[in-house]
Structure 1
Amino acid sequence: MPTDHDHLEHDRDRFGSNHRDQWEHRPRVASGDVLTHVDGASLGAMETLERVLVELPTAPAWALTMRRWTGSAWELRPITIARAP
């Protein structure tokens, strides 16, 4: 069964080592992170959640705003996810 490392090696072969370096240093979502915004819209309202769920299947990319508790403050962690071509 392929591992994450095998996938990284495959990407390295296709895109070169620079792509692999970018892959390994991308922002990661951790346990305890809180998703607060999708494409700039706050997820605090039911109408926003409904709109986001309707648009998810057709959007070419999503800009997510995560918040992570650092022990003394919330840290913003913006993440962009793009649909594969």
Structure 2
Amino acid sequence: MNISSLIKKYNEFILVGCCTDICVMQLALSLKTYLNKIESEQKIIVFQNATATFDTPEHEASTYHEFALNIMKQAGVKIKTWDK
């Protein structure tokens, strides 16, 4: 099975992870670009409270987390909050 066939099996993609502004954002934007290319209406959802990033003096976690969420939202990724 190729990746195209695999992707078409799903109605939506839910992404979570430990580095919002690196791993999660790169996957979300790459997947969104591919879905746009094949003119797919499949949704990509990122749960903002199920992702995070690291904190250093040069990389303030909450700022970079919010930047990444906003970039993904502007690209058409749905940003939601996980409710139990």
**Same fold, judged at TM 0.5 (above):** no
**Under TM normalisation by the shorter chain, which class is it?**
under 0.3
Larger Rg: 1
The TM-score with structure 1 as length reference comes to 0.23
Higher normalized contact order (CA 8 Å, seq sep 6+, divided by chain length) = 2
Q: Determine which structure has the larger helix proportion and give its number.
A: 2
The TM-score with structure 2 as length reference comes to 0.23
